[in-house]
A = this chain, B = another copy of it.
Amino acid sequence: MKKKDFKGFPFIEGGVCAAKGFRANGIHCGIKANGDPNKNDLALIVADKPCTAAAMYTTNKVQGAPIAVTRRHLEDGIAQAVIVNSVNANTCNADGEEKAEKMCVEAATALHLKREDVIVASTGVIGQPLPIEPIVEGIPELVKGLSTQGNTQAVNAIMTTDTVPKEVAVEFTVGGKTCRLGGMLKGSGMIHPNMATTLTFLTTDCDIDAELLREALREVVFLTLNRVSVDGDTSTNDMVCILANGMAENAKINAESEDYDTFKDALYTVLMNLARMMARDGEGATKLIECLCDGAPDDRTAEIVAKSVITSSLLKAAIFGEDANWGRVLCAVGYAPADFDIHEVNVTLGSEQGVILVCEDGAGVEFSEEEAKKILSEEEIRIHVTIGKGEGVAVAWGCDLTYDYVRINGDYRS
């Protein structure tokens, strides 16, 4: 991705329904006995015509059954619908793939599509058989309620321990035509994406070549979703997918070009904002931690250092306590498996309240504890680590470690 200034894009409403020719819906079908009837658990996204589609999946060796099924269905690079449930991950069950296929078949039948054109995803508890009956019984209602304003119901359905829905969409111009790209994402624990992400669903009406769509997704995911960690646990069900229906009627993006760069910038804007929202809403989190590492010999080294910082449990707890314990930043920089001279490391802590230097050339400098406290009282904390004089730079996002993380995860299955 070229390092140039973004022009910036106007944000628009609508999430997965922002792009032309996409409808969505979400319902409570009752996968969990006695579940909250006001919390949806099943969502559907449908395009008006077949889409060029791309996806990336978790690198965990344990992979949810829906991932195996989606991989097969996307072999031809074409999809037209996404069905997704929360509550149950449909992972580590003997009959998992059969049930994931069943979800596709039922959705395809109701929508008059081929089952191979349906993407399926699940999120929730691992290792409990998926109750398929409420899903099958819910699909007619789900299909009936599809609308171009259905993104709100859909995003509600993919939330698990998320406290806020996460949707972003932007408008951009390709070849004189207005295009839209939007998406929704669920967090908020077991978040340490590796070559893929948590569940993220993207839609666009931009017309783009399948290979370029895959390449853009891969490139941007590495810079956004893969730069987030909530708890260091890489999920078994991570998936990000994008559907492009071409209904903006732009001249198809067929080559690396200015148009392609614009598309990638739009994708970056959506995914970077979703990534930040995911980190900010990490399980139990009260603060977003953004670590910028620069001066590295290369971007990869900068990424390793930035991720090491935002992953440190000790630092995360200190940020929760609004304690300017910068020694923990340096400690995490120090154990990052990367090559640089620790005596060239500078660290600043910042937020809306200002920025202070706390470490220079690998050693502490005096600073005002009062000022530090004020800076750390904000909800977005920025840690800037410079590790030398190189050109490498990377940003990573995490969150603080709180009592609520322990509460939420001490008894998640109940």
A residues lining the B interface (CB < 8 Å): 59-63, 89, 91-94, 125-129, 189-190, 192, 194, 231-236, 311-314, 317-318, 320-321, 323, 325-328, 330-336, 340, 342, 359, 362-364, 401-403, 405-414
Contacts and interface: CB of A to CB of B under 8 A. Distances in A.
Contacts of A363: 92-94, 127
Contacts of A333: 61-62
A362 B92 contact: yes
Q: Is the interface of A mostly helix, strand, loop or mixed?
A: loop
A401 B189 CA distance: 15
A406 B333 CA distance: 21
Nearest to A364: B127
Contact of A335 (B60, B362, B412): B60
B235 A331 contact: yes
Nearest to A319: B410
13 contacts: A61-B334, A61-B342, A62-B330, A62-B331, A91-B327, A92-B362, A125-B325, A129-B364, A190-B331, A232-B232, A233-B335, A317-B410, A321-B411
Given A89-B327, A233-B332, A313-B405, 6 more contacts: A126-B331, A190-B314, A190-B331, A233-B314, A317-B410, A403-B403
A191 to B, nearest CB: 10
Given A59-B335, A331-B235, A335-B60, A413 B323 contact: yes
A413 to B, nearest CB: 5
Contact of A334 (B62, B313, B364): B62
Given A194-B335, A236-B334, A126 B412 contact: no
A278 B317 CA distance: 20
A61 B335 contact: yes
Nearest 5 pairs of A and B residues by beta carbon:
A126-B327, A321-B410, A62-B334, A317-B409, A127-B364
Contacts of A233: 312-314, 328, 331-332, 335
A88 to B, nearest CB: 11
Q: Kindly name the residue among A60, A92, A190, A192 whose own CB sees the greatest number of chain B CB atoms within 10 A.
A: A92
